[in-house]
Amino acid sequence: MSFLLDVQRIGISFGGLKAVQDFTLQIAHGALHGLIGPNGAGKTTVFNLLTGVYLPQTGSIHLGGVSLMGRKPFQIAAAGLSRTFQNIRLFGELSVLDNVRIACHLRGRHSLTATVLRTSFYRRQEAAIEERAMTLLSIFDLGDLAHEQARNLSYGDQRRLEIVRALATVPKLILLDEPAAGMNPAEKIELAKSIEQIRKQFNLTVLLIEHDMSLVMDICERITVLDYGQIIAEGTPGEIQSNPKVIEAYLGEVVTES
Amino acid sequence: MQTLDYAIPGTRPTQPGWVTFVPPLAVLMLALLMHYCVPFLGAYAERIMTDMAIAMIAAMSLTIVNGFTGQFSIGHAAFMALGGYTAAWCSYYFCLRYWGQTAVVPGTLFGTHQLILLCCALIGGAVAAGAGWVVGLPSLRLRGDYLAIVTLGFGEILRVLFQQTNSQALSKPELANRPLFGSDPTNPGWVFPPGVGGSLGFTDIPKSTNLFLCYLLVGLTFLFAYRLKFSSLGRALLSIREDEIAAEAMGVNVTRLKVRAFMFAAFFAGIAGTLYAHQSGTTLRPIDSGFIRSFDIVIMVVLGGLGSISGALLAAVIITGVTAALLGLTDYGLLPYRMPVFALVLILMMIFRPKGLFGVHEIWDYLPQFGRKGAK
Instruction: Write out pLDDT tens, residues B175-187.
Output: 988 998 888 888 8
Which of the residue ranges B39-43, B140-144, B311-315, B364-368 would you say has the lowest mean pLDDT?
B140-144
Distance from CA of A247 to the nearest CA of B (A): 34
Higher-scoring residue by pLDDT: A155, B145: A155
pLDDT band for B238, please (50, 70, 90 cuts): very high
> Can you give the pLDDT at residue B354?
87
> What's the mean pLDDT in A183-206?
92
Which residue of chain A is at minimal alpha-carbon distance from B237? A102
Three-state SS at B196: coil
- CB-closest option in B6, B15, B250 to A77: B250
Given this model, what pLDDT does residue A254 score?
A: 67
pLDDT value for B313: 96
Predicted pLDDT of residue B273? 97
Could A128 and B10 be called an inter-chain contact, meaning their C-beta atoms sit closer than 8 Å? yes
Q: Mutation target for B interface from A101, A113, A116: give the one with most B CBs within 10 A.
A: A116
pLDDT band at A258 (very low <50, low <70, confident <90, very high): low
Q: Is A252 a residue whose pLDDT tops 90?
A: no
A178, part of any domain = yes
Query: Which pLDDT does position B356 carry in this prediction?
Result: 87
**To 5 degrees, how large is the angle CA A74–CA A104–CA B363?**
110
pLDDT tens, position by position, B258-290: 999 999 999 999 999 999 999 988 899 999 998
Nearest CA in chain A to B243: A91
All residues of chain A having their beta carbon less than 8 Å from the beta carbon of residue B243 are: 89-92
Tally of domains within chain A = 1
**Given this model, what pLDDT does residue B4 score?**
60
Q: Is residue A134 part of a domain?
A: yes
**Predicted TM-score (pTM) of this structure:** 0.93
Taking the CA of residue A216 and the nearest CA in chain B, the distance in Å comes to 25
3-state secondary structure chain A: CCCCEEEEEEEEEECCEEEEEEEEEEECCCCEEEEECCCCCCHHHHHHHHCCCCCCCEEEEEECCEECCCCCHHHHHHHCEEECCCCCCCCCCCEHHHHHHHHHHHHCCCCHHHHHHCCHHHHHHHHHHHHHHHHHHHHCCCHHHCCCEHHHCCHHHHHHHHHHHHHCCCCCEEEEECCCCCCCHHHHHHHHHHHHHHHHHHCCEEEEECCCHHHHHHHCCEEEEEECCEEEEEECHHHHHCCHHHHHHHHCCCCCCC
Report the pLDDT value the prediction gives residue B370, as an integer from 0 to 100.
Answer: 57
Residue B314: predicted pLDDT: 95
Q: A105, B236: Cβ pair inside 8 Å? A: yes
**pLDDT for B375:** 40
> Is A166 in Cβ contact with B224 (below 8 Å)?
no
- pLDDT category at B358 given cuts 50, 70, 90 is confident
Neighboring chain B residues of A175 at a CB cutoff of 8 Å: none
- Whether B361 has a pLDDT exceeding 60, the answer reads yes
Distance, in angstroms, between A253 CA and closest chain B CA? 39
Q: Which amino acid is at A72?
A: K
**pLDDT (0 to 100) of residue B365:** 83
Domain span including residue A245? 5-251
**Does some domain include residue A193?**
yes
ipTM entry: 0.92
Supply the CATH number for residue A30's domain: 3.40.50.300
Vertex B105 angle, CA B99 and B110, to 5° = 95
Asked if the Cβ–Cβ distance from B249 to A77 is below 8 Å, we say: yes
Measured between beta carbons, the chain B residues lying within 8 angstroms of A92 are 242-243
Q: With 50 as the cut, is the pLDDT of residue B209 above it? A: yes
